[in-house]
Chains A and B, each alone.
Chain A
């Protein structure tokens, strides 16, 4: 996650930066207003004004994104509401192709006059850049869909739920943590609604209404005598769902040494468990470094998949487009074309999916008007595909884009971002208990913690929330100061077992950063609990004077 994007997405955008963190609660935006969308007829007229201007100024292709972005952050600390940040952002971004070169401009002046001006600016930028570019952009053909729409299949719009209900839930959670012995507790609910209208010279007019929700908390317990403190964050999943996610359901709980959740989340129960966990962590045994068999819960493994599989299979990284910022990839076109590059063991099957229900990355169409779908990235351990957009498709020999284009707001240019990328569950029936029974010396890791990976995605280090020592097939206690280091291919080739689909769950990143200027993307990663043998575990404990 890139810090400046985090600031943006928590609703404390540039306009609010000068204001103190003020507490408040109430209906954030009049529900009728939050639900009210700009009339598509008006958006079509505005979009056509920009497209026509761009064409008249020499653009061979142009697209327009009119976006209305509603963000809401309800943030509490202990028994106080720290902030209710409601932001609304409305504007337009125009992208044009002139003389084989891209140009982009954005404005919040969403009028016919504003459209003409912003299209002119985009053309001027393209012309300026065409002077120093020698290789024209090759754009994969794309059919126009006419006037179509798509909406996240939600049951309850989070913006319709009174703030009081959210505050009551968060303060109840905080109260439970404090009663349970926590020293500090922060909790929050973030809701996002992207109302996006896309139009292009291909003849598409696509209206989408996208919803995402992220409940989270951090419980901290301090021990002044030893000047130490331990924290545990929520095991919630940021999701592409409505407020129904926060309606607890027994059938969506995964019971074990700690309870985890599928498509419904019991925040109150989780925070009670988290409070117990922080107390346990303070006195947990510091890990003995060495080789361990790791049993990784989906609440942890999603981040490893994200960093070590999803990012390296982004074609722009493979080609070097991210070399100056987010990094490149150890994967190459040669490795793909060889057809026998063993990314991992035969148990590794990874699928890209832009339509997965409940996921953060689910949309009907991407941000250059391509209808979304799913495809294999790794099959039986072999690399079989990458992720591409319209101006990259020809590089893979494809006659169409894979629909991986996204921009975080109307004011950002769209570029290649990852779809939901998930490890497929094992085909042989296998439960978590059965998996643990087979481990002699191992660590069971739940929840994601610190993460770092090199610029070609070889060498990585991951922490976690909870670490449990496994000896001779049994969990014998909690560990602390655990991080594992591995090289990418070696790690995935050590994948010896994946639990079956009964244990399949999503995790996800709400703010994944990439690009210059850096943009944030939300994406989910699914898996079932998986076992990796012989991974190097280090002890992270340090002391300062």
Chain B
């Protein structure tokens, strides 16, 4: 039941729409089926197998709208949720920013679904995790890991004839390896649409190497350093910056606001080497081909050679400003260079290799000033070589300032944010003058 085909979703949505008496009606339907397995202390701790299906109905009379959702699908429940949204709408005040629903649109078929990933069983999850545990047990390390797979679909239909459907698969694996004394730690994170690309053994090997190499970390003085951020570290930092909302910029409450009013659209805000775009047809990071407003997602440059190329405009704000609506990013791909991580280390006189960042929070939204710490493998580089592991440090830095200080970029790879679990294509990057403010004894 949780996963409906395009035809099944369309049939169900038509039935729900047939109950509608409102001027306008928008119905969203989504389902997910998947499972997970979690380990700690080299054992399975918890595991689950979950399926959910949910429906939302939004009814409008004039400019008055009400929304309700439900996850029961008998005919009485379906009619009930429609009536509930209509009751809400009848009582609602007019919304001056109401936009009528879009009519029929044409959306390209996405490439977000993979049969093999959709067919993953609890036994396969256990087997993939067993391969990871082989590595840590053999190396006398202690693993805490997590593997999650899911197939989901989203569909929307409205009373003006719009229908959109998308089905996607994902599998994510993360593992933290620590030595028994708790003096060394390593981490690896992988995420794919196609499970056949996932090598839990290989990923755990890398995490294990980091754990062993990070034992005996020395303290160095906080301050400004050249850092080499592996993609797992860089993505968590940059994720806080991937908001290109025109309205907040024009309202003066965004890092994209301009002094004296307006936005920084067209201005050079970062280093020439920085180009960030979204593209639903990126083979390594495919995304849905339609937005929540029912607009097609197209390849869109947000930052090109350091210049702000586009801001996203929802339909209301676009109309108000007399511009074309631009849906927000469907995914994020940052272009890179050709340098390998080894090349970056070789070219560094004094610097720090950062494997992972942790607990990043906003300190000042005006400049996107963030704080957080390094974790799971932080190493001091001198004269082109890793010299020794160092204790973790707290940073206070802005990703915008950071992208002004880019020295070298490597080849982008699919990286998983350690907090949101979203995937991005991000290169490893060498950054000068990255600000560390204190030391941490945490391993």
Contacts and interface: CB of A to CB of B under 8 A. Distances in A.
Interface of A: 2-4, 11, 13-20, 22-30, 80-81, 83-91, 101-109, 121-122, 124-126, 128-129, 131-135, 163-164, 167, 183-184, 220, 222, 224-229, 316, 319-325, 327-328, 330, 411-413, 415, 450-459, 461, 463, 481, 483, 485, 487, 516-518, 536, 538, 540-545
Interface stretch (B172-180, B296-304, B341-349): B172-180
A321 B251 CA distance: 44
Closest 8 CB pairs of A and B: A26-B91, A15-B54, A456-B442, A459-B440, A323-B144, A227-B259, A18-B28, A324-B144
Contacts of A26: 66, 87-92
Contact of B44 (A101, A413, A536): A101
B146 A544 contact: no
21 contacts: A13-B54, A16-B28, A22-B66, A24-B66, A26-B90, A27-B88, A27-B91, A29-B84, A84-B67, A108-B72, A129-B126, A131-B123, A321-B41, A322-B144, A327-B359, A452-B371, A456-B441, A459-B438, A463-B363, A542-B397, A544-B400
Interface residues of B, number: 123
Given A85-B67, A229-B253, A324-B187, 4 more contacts: A14-B54, A15-B71, A24-B66, A459-B442
Contact of B359 (A83, A453, A543): A453
A304 to B, nearest CB: 14
A321 B373 CA distance: 20
Interface stretch (B30-38, B227-235, B273-281, B332-340): B30-38
B367 A454 contact: no
B176 A14 contact: no
B28 A459 contact: no
A478 to B, nearest CB: 16
B10 interface: no
Given A13-B54, A227-B260, A540 B47 contact: no
Contacts of B156: 18-19
B419 A542 contact: no
Contact of B442 (A86, A133, A164, A330): A330
Nearest to B66: A24
Given A129-B122, A229-B252, A516-B146, A89 B364 contact: no
B398 A544 contact: yes
Given A4-B420, A321-B40, A132 B361 contact: no
Interface string B38-59: 1011011111111111111010
B64 interface: yes
A286 B3 CA distance: 55
A413 B48 contact: yes
User: Most chain-B Cβ atoms within 10 A of its Cβ — which of A80, A104, A163, A517?
Assistant: A517
A125 B48 contact: yes
Contact of B360 (A14, A163, A452): A452
Contacts of B251: 183-184, 222
Contacts of B26: 19-20
B66 A3 contact: no
Interface stretch (B94-102, B110-118, B195-203, B407-415): B94-102
B154 interface: yes
The listed residue with most B CB atoms (<10 A of its CB), out of A129, A227, A327, A453, is A129
Contact of B126 (A81, A132, A330): A132
Contacts of A107: 51
A81 to B, nearest CB: 6
Interface of B: 1, 26, 28-30, 32, 35-38, 40-41, 43-56, 58, 60, 64-72, 84, 87-93, 95-99, 121-123, 125-127, 129-130, 133, 142, 144-146, 148, 152, 154-156, 174-176, 178, 182, 185, 187, 251-253, 255, 257-261, 269, 292-293, 314, 358-369, 371-373, 375, 392, 394, 396-398, 400-401, 404, 418-421, 437-443
Contacts of B90: 26
Nearest to B174: A324
B371 A91 contact: no
Contacts of A80: 95-97
B258 A227 contact: yes
B357 to A, nearest CB: 10
B373 A22 contact: no
A540 B397 CA distance: 9
Nearest to B48: A104
Contacts of B65: 22-24
A224 B249 CA distance: 11
A534 to B, nearest CB: 15
A30 B439 CA distance: 55
Contacts of A101: 44
Contacts, number: 345
A459 B420 contact: no
Contacts of A463: 363
Contacts of B67: 16, 19, 22, 24, 83-86
A451 B358 CA distance: 12
Interface centre among A4, A133, A319, A542 (most CB of B within 10 A): A542
A104 B47 CA distance: 6
A319 B152 CA distance: 34
Nearest to A409: B52
A132 B44 contact: yes
A24 B142 contact: no
Contact of A320 (B32, B148, B178): B178
Nearest to A323: B144
A133 B42 CA distance: 8
A531 B408 CA distance: 47
A458 B269 CA distance: 36
B69 A87 contact: yes
A92 to B, nearest CB: 11
Contacts of A131: 123, 126, 130
Given A135-B43, A452-B371, A540 B441 contact: no
Nearest to B373: A454
A542 B364 contact: yes
A90 B77 CA distance: 12
A518 B126 CA distance: 20
Given A84-B66, A227-B260, A129 B44 contact: yes
B399 to A, nearest CB: 10
A411 B392 CA distance: 37
Contacts of B123: 128, 131
A15 B32 CA distance: 10
A107 B41 CA distance: 29
Given A85-B67, A459-B438, A28 B88 contact: yes
A106 B126 contact: no
Contacts of A226: 259
B361 to A, nearest CB: 5
B443 A545 contact: no
Given A26-B88, A26-B92, A222 B252 contact: yes
B84 A452 contact: no
A109 B51 CA distance: 10
A101 B52 CA distance: 24
A18 B292 contact: yes
Given A83-B67, A320-B40, A453-B359, A104 B442 contact: no
Contact of B71 (A22, A84, A90, A485): A90
